[in-house]
Structure 1
């Protein structure tokens, strides 16, 4: 059973079982969302994006074409994904950059993820971090630009 709030606009048919989509969420055609996900209010999920199973997307997140989120990922409120390294109005790349968030990763509130980044399995991105390069599996990154946190 899917639980789609009547005040959302879900145009995709690729929504997994037991996924909850809250009010004021827009899911465009050909976006894919897995099972047991929780998509909180005021999110946009663009065609050509992919969300795996057991993913939580908190309020105010836009997931653009080319963003792939694997299973068991947490996306905090107002996380910003980007998919174009040189954006210009009305000038589109032939293909948007692919950004991959690997299984079990967590991204804190208000983090910014630049295009073409891979965030490794089980990695943690701190709140407000600006991720400009790949994050290793199980690493914790913080700051602007995000750097690996080393606990001495």
Structure 2
């Protein structure tokens, strides 16, 4: 088994493409090489990954096995997309963001250093498809440093504020304020992130380490 790299693919220096990966696959209606595909330096594309032509990915990118990244995705530096995650067209992902295994995103905007736990699903269609689909609500927006627990579902058009935390298994039906913890179905505010406690006692408060990085 060998990797398959289509015309029009630009791989940065030191990027490794493992056997079985396919890079620059032309989307429907496009010829091979018609849309440029860019992957920055120092990246690793693991076996089974499929990246369509028209994707633009920054430096130090990591993909899990079997990840799929469709056309018209823009991914920043230092990001990862986990095993069997699916990025449909139209996502914008900021630097340092981690998309864990089995996530599903379409038309989603993620800020910097966002964390998505395994199995997080974003929806962008408020009802079954219709001829005016493109005029509907669209995908969610997640601001910088927000974290979303595993198996959460995020409904169309929702905005999740910076530094917020969404509990595992939650269904987010409305906007989440910055610095807020929400959980449940539908997700409701539980407390502020400043009220959280570091259970093992490694830090005086959760995310203290992040503040040190930002200083």
Give the TM-score normalised by structure 1. 0.92
| Moved segments of 4+, more than 2 Å | none
Long gaps (5+) in structure 1:
none
| Counterpart check, 1:74 vs 2:115 | yes
Kindly report which structure 2 residues correspond to 1:30-69, keeping only aligned pairs within 5 A, or say none.
30-64=72-106, 66-69=107-110
Separation in 2, partners of 1:55, 1:115: 20
- The structure that has the greater radius of gyration is 2
User: How far did 1:92 drift?
Assistant: 5.5
Look up the SS of the partner of 2:126 in the other structure: coil
CA RMSD of aligned residues (A): 1.6
Equivalences for residues 7-46 of structure 1 within 5 A = 7-11=48-52, 12-46=54-88
Which residue of structure 1 lines up, in the alignment, with residue 159 of structure 2?
A: 118
Match of 1:101 in 2: 142
Tell me the matched-pair count. 150
Whether contact under 8 Å (2:149, 2:168) holds in the other structure is yes
Q: Scaled by the length of structure 2, what TM-score is found? A: 0.66
**SS of alignment partner, residue 110 of structure 1:** coil
Partner of 1:150: helix, strand, or coil?
Answer: strand
Structure 2 gaps of 5+ residues are 1-41, 196-215
Q: Is 1:149 paired with 2:187?
A: no
* Superposed displacement of residue 91, structure 1: 4.8
How far residue 10 of structure 1 moved from its aligned partner, in angstroms, is 1.0
